[in-house]
Amino acid sequence: MTDPQRADETDFAVALADAARTVDMVIDRLIPVPEGLEARVFEAMRYAALGPGKRLRPFLVLAGSRLFGVSRRSGLQAAAAVEMVHAYSLVHDDLPAMDNSDLRRGRPTCHKAFDDATAVLAGDGLLTLAFEGLAQPDTHGDPGVRCELIAALALAAGNQGMVGGQMIDLIAEHRPDLDIGAITRLQRLKTGALIAFSCEAGAILGKAPHEARQALRGYAHDLGLAFQIADDLLDVEGSPEKTGKPVGQDAAAGKATFVSILGIERARAHAELLVTQAVAHLDLFDRNAEPMRQAARFVVERRA
Ligand code: GRG
């Protein structure tokens, strides 16, 4: 007899790989390499955005879009935009002025494969292109919806989201005394906001009712924190071979994280509780929400 959990994991792996393949086709189309001296920055953008990542954010956009009957084409435009913003954040985060990392997704980081200045420009190019893509009529026939999507992504990526969170994170490196409330806020901004956008994009595209949006917001809120705790655990328990990036960096920097504050066992238990809560927010949706339920479980069970 088939183990239902195994079957779920297989379904999820297939769906994640499918989302990755299709979103990569859209990104590939959005970043053609032109003739001329500027080609180098396009090559660096492609290196960063088409590298071997999980594509979890695009998956969430497509899974959320499915709940509201959004066309595949619209969902993919939003999925490509969020992945390009994510890729930009990784490129800039790895720079010598920030985390100074040499390894990302099992390969040299963008500034190692190219150079620092090109990596800065590649990040800038990806961020800008994400919004250019969302503004295209392919994203949605209604310009009001495109505007709403652009505003939501700007909010998630900007000072009140990822950029603000990254600023706090840089300061936190010299503040090992930060408590769990401060760390929760930091992570909610740094990684949670973009994950929340990914979960809500389909609701925006599908002009979903308030109640459905609230449910997705609750799901995203818990999922984002669970994702970050899992990331902190991987930094302690993972290996560079599996994660494709250096591990042990938080402890080496003396940084306060969920794991340094709660310890491994309580951190894992907290992540599992958050996943249960995240899934409960989806109760008002039918079987179409199954991929989102599976994504929540994947987030805490992942090894990379
Ligand atoms: C530079 C403005 C700016 C922001 C950087 C998100 C971020 C802020 C930095 C990334 C650093 C980091 C490792 C954060 C932990 C959580 C995280 C975003 C992990 C990487 O995301 P995954 O696991 O990566 O989805 P893949 O490679 O699968 O896409």
Q: Given ligand 1 and candidates 84, 85, 93, which is best to mutate, with the most ligand atoms within 8 Å of its CB?
A: 93
Nearest CA residue ID for atom 7, ligand 1: 89
Residue-by-residue pLDDT tens, the chain, 304 positions: 567 777 777 889 999 999 999 999 999 999 999 999 999 999 999 999 999 999 999 999 999 999 999 999 999 999 999 999 999 999 999 999 999 999 999 999 999 999 999 999 999 999 999 999 999 999 999 999 999 999 999 999 999 999 999 999 999 888 888 899 999 999 999 999 999 999 999 999 999 999 999 999 999 999 999 999 999 999 998 888 888 888 888 888 778 889 999 999 999 999 999 999 999 999 999 999 999 999 999 999 888 8
Query: 286: CA distance to ligand 1 center in Å?
Result: 31
Using CB atoms within 10 Å of the CB of residue 81, give its burial: 0 to 12 exposed, 13 to 18 middle, 19+ buried: buried
CA of 88 to the centre of ligand 1 (A): 9
How many angstroms separate the alpha carbon of residue 191 from the centre of ligand 1? Answer: 7
Report yes or no: 198 and 60 within 8 Å, Cβ to Cβ. Answer: yes
Q: How far apart are CA 50 and CA 112, in angstroms?
A: 16
Distance CA 2, CA 185 (A): 41
How deeply is 108 buried, as exposed, middle or buried, from its count of CB atoms within 10 A (0-12, 13-18, 19+)?
middle
Q: Check if 166 has its Cβ closer than 6 Å to any atom of ligand 1.
A: yes
The ligand 1 atom at the shortest distance from the C-alpha of residue 228 is 16
162 in ligand 1 pocket by Cβ < 6 Å? yes
Residue 141 CA to ligand 1 centre (angstroms): 32
Q: Per the structure block, which two tokens stand in for 131?
A: 């919004």
Between CA 138 and CA 130 the distance in angstroms is 13
What pLDDT, on a 0 to 100 scale, did the predictor assign at position 3?
Answer: 74
φ/ψ of 108, rounded to 5, equals -55, 140
* CA 224 – ligand 1 centroid, Å: 12
Predicted local confidence at residue 277, as pLDDT: 97
Cα(7) to ligand 1 centroid in Å equals: 29
3-state SS of 76-102 is: HHHHHHHHHHHHHHHHHHHCCCCCCCC
What is the spatial distance between Cα 57 and Cα 195, in angstroms, rounded to a whole number? 6
Give the helix ranges, DSSP H, for the chain. Answer: 4-30, 39-49, 56-67, 72-94, 110-113, 116-135, 143-157, 162-172, 180-187, 193-205, 210-237, 240-243, 249-252, 258-262, 264-280, 290-301
Domains of the chain: 4-301 (1.10.600.10)
Residue 97: both structure tokens together: 């002025």
Would the CB of 113 count as within 6 Å of ligand 1?
no
**Residue whose CA is at the smallest distance from ligand 1 atom 5:** 89
- Say if CB 247 and CB 239 are below 8 A apart: yes
